[in-house]
């Protein structure tokens, strides 16, 4: 849909009325227009202004529409802000959902780690049993206790995997947890591709000590990722967790999530 007089894309602030009525306190915008009508051009300017005013911005992009702006922000801040995640053959997309700058692992952070591991472990049509959920939950809690005490251990997927293989296996044996309640070897086998030299060993073991909570301009470029059935769900969870974490912990600061090509 384009404006018939100007040929420009149509910009709707769909929260204007509910906001005046006091029903909602956050704004939603929707930008419609055919390819080439200027949607990305307009949003680049809008997002830049929000950034200049102190807003935290998380962009989900396809087609590198925000690469230039992200580079500019990185330059302006001497590398302090402007984080760009993308998948390249020689530099695959990589995160560390286990890392926090301050070792704060609140309930939501633990939950998001659990959800992530569950997504890797089980298929969508294969819900975990209660006993498996409990076992995973305990594994995550005990792992966090361990890395909090021993700061030499790098929090990442690799050290979590090692923890389950060694320490947690003993815990389960001591408690006489039966294999049918939680099959450690089956679990380790399914998750092996995400460990060290596995096919996706890069995905959750980034050694960049990057706490996205304090970054105000973050771009997730999903052109290649969106067609990969393994990477896409994982990256989606990481994006949502990153934004929800900002909503929780940055109260009183404006945050914005922008999704390019939202139908993809």
Half-sphere CA count of 26, side-chain side, radius 13 A: 9
What residues contact 17, with CB distance under 8 A and at least 6 apart?
Answer: none
Report the residue number, 37 or 245, with the smaller CB distance to ligand ADP: 37
- Region of residue 150 (phi > 0: left; psi between -120 and 50: alpha; otherwise: beta): beta
CB 16 within 8 A of CB 25: no
Q: At closest approach, how far in Å is the CB of 10 from Mg ion?
A: 14
Closer CB to ligand ADP, 44 or 119, in the complex: 44
At 196, list the tokens: 């060290």
Give the CB-nearest residue to Mg ion. Answer: 40
Contact string 27-56 vs ligand ADP (x = CB under 6 A)? ------x-xxxxxxx---------------
Is the Cβ of residue 40 or residue 206 nearer to Mg ion in the bound state? Answer: 40
CA–CA separation, 215 and 83 (whole Å) = 7
Which listed option, ligand ADP, Mg ion, none, makes contact with residue 41 (CB within 5 to 8 Å by class)? ligand ADP
Q: How many residues bind ligand ADP (CB under 6 A)?
A: 9
Give the residue with the Cβ less far from Mg ion, 38 or 128. Answer: 38
Q: Please list every residue from 21 through 60 that binds Mg ion, using CB under 5 A.
A: 40
Residue ranges with strand state E in the chain: 10-13, 29-32, 56-61, 83-85, 217-221, 255-259
Which CB atom, from 38 or from 198, has the smaller least distance to ligand ADP?
38
Q: Are 264 and 226 in contact (CB under 8 A)?
A: yes
User: What is the rounded distance in angstroms from the CA atom of residue 164 to the CA atom of residue 162?
Assistant: 6
Nearest to ligand ADP of 66, 143 (CB atom):
66
CB under 5 to 8 A by kind: which of Mg ion, ligand ADP, none does 35 bind? ligand ADP
Q: Let me know: does 14 contact 26? Beta carbons within 8 Å.
A: no
Residue 155 interaction partner, one of ligand ADP, Mg ion, none, beta carbon < 5-8 Å per kind? none
Tell me the backbone φ, ψ of residue 5, rounded to 5 degrees: -80, -40
Q: How far is the CB of 122 from Mg ion (least distance, A)?
A: 36
Least distance in Å: CB of 37 to Mg ion?
9
Residues that bind ligand ADP (CB under 6 A): 9, 33, 35-41
Residues that bind Mg ion (CB under 5 A): 40
């Amino acid at each position: 849909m384009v404006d018939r007089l100007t040929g420009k894309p149509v910009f709707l602030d769909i929260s204007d009325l509910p906001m005046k009525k006091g029903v909602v306190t956050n704004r939603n915008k929707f930008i419609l227009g055919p390819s080439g009508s200027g949607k990305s051009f307009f949003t680049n300017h809008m997002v830049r202004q929000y950034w200049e005013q102190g807003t935290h911005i998380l962009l989900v992009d396809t087609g590198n529409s925000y690469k230039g702006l992200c580079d500019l922000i990185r330059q302006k801040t001497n590398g302090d802000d402007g984080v760009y995640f993308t998948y390249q053959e020689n530099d695959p997309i990589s995160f560390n959902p286990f890392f926090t700058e301050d070792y704060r692992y609140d309930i939501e952070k633990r939950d998001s780690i659990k959800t992530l591991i569950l997504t890797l472990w089980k298929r969508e049509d294969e819900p975990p049993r209660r006993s498996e959920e409990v076992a995973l939950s305990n594994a995550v809690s005990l792992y966090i206790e361990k890395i909090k005490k021993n700061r030499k251990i790098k929090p990442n997927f690799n050290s979590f995997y090692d923890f389950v293989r060694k320490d947690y296996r003993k815990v389960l044996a001591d408690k006489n947890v039966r294999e049918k309640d939680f099959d450690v070897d089956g679990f380790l086998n399914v998750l092996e591709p995400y460990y060290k030299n596995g096919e996706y060993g890069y995905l959750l073991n980034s050694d960049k000590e990057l706490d996205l909570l304090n970054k105000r301009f973050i771009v997730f470029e999903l052109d290649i990722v969106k067609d990969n059935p393994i990477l896409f769900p994982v990256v989606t969870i990481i994006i949502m967790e990153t934004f929800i974490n900002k909503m929780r912990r940055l109260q009183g600061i404006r945050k914005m999530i922008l999704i390019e090509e939202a139908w993809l």
